[in-house]
Structure 1
Amino acid sequence: MAWTRRYEEPEPQRVNKWLAQSGVCSRREAEALIADGLVSIDGETVADAGRKILPGQTLTLADRAAESLVGFTAVLNKPVGYVSGQPEPGHTPAVRLLTKGNLVGKGEAPASGASLPPLGRLDEDSRGLLILSSDGVLAKAVIGPESDLEKEYLVRVTGQVEERKLGRLRHGLELDGRKLKPAKVSVVEGNTLRFVLKEGRKRQIRRMCDLVGLRVVDLLRVRVGPLNLGDLPEGRWRLLRPDERDAIIRASIPSGPRTVPSPPRQT
């Protein structure tokens, strides 16, 4: 079914700008959709890339437009021993796990050789929730510079867990000469910690723990924004649902005074 959304802002706005702010596509992609005759307002096809939508009008994307924008997105429970992106010789990329036999639920496996970059890497010796996607809008929401998404991890460490060390992990550490953003770090039980971050520097959690005298022996990512790993078995994958995609895009928008329209709903 087509995507449709009523424009509720008080002032007119260019269609391409509104679609971009809504998290539907980039401005360039919106202009391409308009050029292909795939965008309409109140039933009238939009022919001008500079067209503005007025308060109370309804914009619709044709089925073909919606399908082309969403792309392919897999939610994988990555085991240890697989690399997230392009591997060096002797290493196995996680995308090889996206087979029909490993699929949970309905859907089709991606074509062999499909380009599915990771949206937030997991090290080879880490496991858990990994998103592999050709969806540019979703990529911006998850790993873009303005993304406000939390990433949650369960981390088992060796060493003595003390409140002093937890305080440093939460606030006060630097990596590569740059101060880290505040992190939420708590004890789950024993030597298992919960980390909630809003950034993802290379091997960040392992390096943070090293700085306070702890060593990571297991790292499991359980959440990216509103998307949870849940009970997806290790080594298995499923397709991302449209409602999950919408929720991720909504959650990625930084809080602040700017009002950003919510993405169109599929009807």
Structure 2
Amino acid sequence: MKLVKLIANLGYGSRKDVALMFREGRITDPDGEVLYADDKVAHEHIRVDEEPLDPPTGLILMMHKPLGATCSRKDIGRVVYDLLPPRYRMRDPSLSTVGRLDRDTSGVLLFTDDGALLHRIISPKARVAKVYEATLANDLQGDEGTLFASGTMMLESEKEPLEPAVLQVLEPRRVRLTLTEGRYHQVRRMFAAVGNHVETLTRISVGALTLGDLPPGEWRALEERDIARIFEPPADA
């Protein structure tokens, strides 16, 4: 791929913008030598304004999604894409969230521009585990774990029963719930169906991939070993 198209596809500007960046000498190698549009240079040896070029297509990020941000490009108000470099909105192929977390849910949120990887993660056949911690408005009644694990629980307006889910009681009003599917507002709807209300909700892992010490609102690019952990069982499984 020609350098102008490569850099434009990474969101640095239109092809016209990038061509101007070459003429201005803003595209260089690691030693500061000016590059030209028809040069043949490895991706890792390209610098834009002395900074390494963003990762190529196949990027996958993990964000510690904060409360109050939505997983949308169009919502009025704060959206998760505002927490990424502005040029990440302009990448081609585009960067998309892998599933969604609602405005009032925090925790692990993945992004990728790799469509095949996105579908591999969210496919029901993959049964990738998502682990949530929730605080509840009321004490548990005691039979929720059996119901959630039964594979027969139906939610309002749904036509298929939920896949079995694992409930771990941490305190009378604090729980950990492991799901292998991702229906709309699933955790909140499950507890509403048994007469309870979720007050706080955090996704603590996708597979065995956890946030570690990543602060709310921050993100990092994942390496191959991180991606492999998405398809591994959670640590407490």
Judge same fold: TM > 0.5, yes or no: yes
Structure with greater contact order relative to length (CA < 8 Å, sep ≥ 6): 1
Decide which of 218, 228, 239 is 2:200's aligned counterpart.
Answer: 218
Partner of 2:153: 173
Decide which of 114, 118, 131 is 2:97's aligned counterpart.
Answer: 118
Partner of 1:75: 62
In structure 2, what is the Cα distance between the partners aligned to 1:183 and 1:224? 14
Residue 238 of structure 1: how far off its partner (Å): 0.8
Partner of 1:200: 182
Q: Does 1:130 align with 2:109?
A: yes
Q: Calculate the TM-score normalised by the size of structure 1.
A: 0.60
Q: In structure 2, give the amino acid aligned to 1:76.
A: M
Q: Report 1:134-153 matches (<5 A).
A: 134-153=113-132
- Judged with a 3 Å threshold, the aligned counterparts in structure 2 of structure 1 residues 235 and 174 are, in CA distance, closer, same or farther, namely same
Q: In structure 1, give the amino acid aligned to 2:202.
A: L
| Contact in 2 for aligned 1:79/1:235 (Cα 8 Å) | yes
Residue 110 of structure 1: how far off its partner (Å): 4.9
Q: In structure 1, give the amino acid aligned to 2:84.
A: L
| Contact in 2 for aligned 1:80/1:125 (Cα 8 Å) | yes
Q: Calculate the TM-score normalised by the size of structure 2.
A: 0.67
Residue 167 of structure 1: how far off its partner (Å): 2.1
| Contact in 1 for aligned 2:131/2:205 (Cα 8 Å) | yes
Structure 1 unaligned spans of 5+: 1-62, 100-108, 253-267
In structure 2, what is the Cα distance between the partners aligned to 1:87 and 1:218? 25
Decide which of 68, 81, 91 is 1:95's aligned counterpart.
Answer: 81
Q: CA RMSD in A?
A: 2.2
Query: Size of the alignment, in residue pairs?
Result: 176
Q: Report 1:149-164 matches (<5 A).
A: 149-164=128-143
Partner of 1:231: 213
Q: Secondary structure at the match of 2:90?
A: coil
Q: Secondary structure at the match of 2:144?
A: helix
In structure 1, what is the Cα distance between the partners aligned to 2:202 and 2:120? 22
| Contact in 2 for aligned 1:77/1:236 (Cα 8 Å) | yes
Report percent identity of matched pairs.
31
| Contact in 2 for aligned 1:118/1:133 (Cα 8 Å) | yes
Tell me the alpha carbon deviations over residues 14-36 of structure 1, each in whole angstroms, 9 at most, x when there is no partner. Answer: xxxxxxxxxxxxxxxxxxxxxxx
Tell me the alpha carbon deviations over residues 223-254 of structure 1, each in whole angstroms, 9 at most, x when there is no partner. Answer: 10121112211111111112112343x549xx
Q: In structure 1, give the amino acid aligned to 2:90.
A: G
Q: Secondary structure at the match of 1:92?
A: coil
